[in-house]
Copies of this chain bind each other. A is one copy, B any other.
Amino acid sequence: MSFETIHEGNIRAYLMTVPGLFPANARLQVTEIGDGNINFVYKVWDDKSGQSVIVKQAKPYLRSSGKDRSLTTDRIRIESEVMAIEGSFCPDLVPKIYHQDMGQSLFVMEDLSDHEIMRKGLIKRKRYPLFPEHIGTFMAHTLYKTSDFTLEAKAKKAMQARFINPEMCEITEKLVFTVPYYDDQTTRYMPGSAQAGAALRSNEPLKKEVAKLKEAFLTSAQALIHGDLHTGSLFVTENSTKAIDQEFAYYGPMGFDVGAVIGNLVLNYAAHEYHSPDPAQREDFRTYLLETIEAVWQVFEREFTRLWKEHNQEVTAQAEGYREDYLARLFADSMGFGGCKVIRRIGRAPVEDFTSIADPKIRAKAERLALKLGEAMVRERHDFGTIEAVTHRIREIQAEAE
Report the interface size for chain A: residues with CB under 8 A from the other chain. Answer: 44
| Chain A 163-175 interface 0/1 with B at a Cβ cutoff of 8 Å (1 = within) | 0111101100100
With A169-B153, A219-B222 as known contacts, state yes or no: A178 contacts B212, CB within 8 Å. Answer: no
Contact B316 A210 (CB under 8 A): yes
Q: Which 10 A-B pairs have the closest CB atoms?
A: A207-B319, A204-B320, A154-B166, A211-B316, A157-B166, A208-B319, A211-B322, A211-B319, A161-B164, A148-B218
How far is B326's CA from A212's CA once the two chains are assembled, in angstroms? 8
Residues in B with CB closer than 8 Å to A173 are: 153
**CB-contacts of A192-211 with B (<8 A):** 204-205, 207-208, 210-211
A358 at the B interface (CB under 8 A)? no
A396 at the B interface (CB under 8 A)? no
| Chain A 100-141 interface 0/1 with B at a Cβ cutoff of 8 Å (1 = within) | 000000000000000000000000000000000000000000
Contact A315 B178 (CB under 8 A): yes
A98 at the B interface (CB under 8 A)? no
Instruction: Write the residues of chain A forming the contact surface with B, with a CB cutoff of 8 angstroms.
Output: 148, 153-154, 156-158, 160-161, 164-167, 169-170, 173, 177-178, 181-182, 204-205, 207-208, 210-212, 214-215, 218-222, 314-322, 325-326
Partner of A170, one of B153, B208, B319, B322: B153
With A154-B170, A157-B164, A164-B161 as known contacts, state yes or no: A181 contacts B316, CB within 8 Å. Answer: yes
Contact A325 B161 (CB under 8 A): no
How far is B321's CA from A161's CA once the two chains are assembled, in angstroms? 33
Most B CB atoms within 10 A — which of A173, A211, A212, A317? A211
With A210-B316, A211-B316, A211-B317 as known contacts, state yes or no: A218 contacts B153, CB within 8 Å. Answer: yes
14 CB-based A-B contacts, threshold 8 Å: A148-B219, A153-B218, A154-B167, A157-B165, A160-B164, A182-B315, A204-B319, A205-B320, A207-B316, A207-B318, A207-B320, A208-B319, A208-B322, A211-B317
A151 to chain B, nearest CB (A): 10
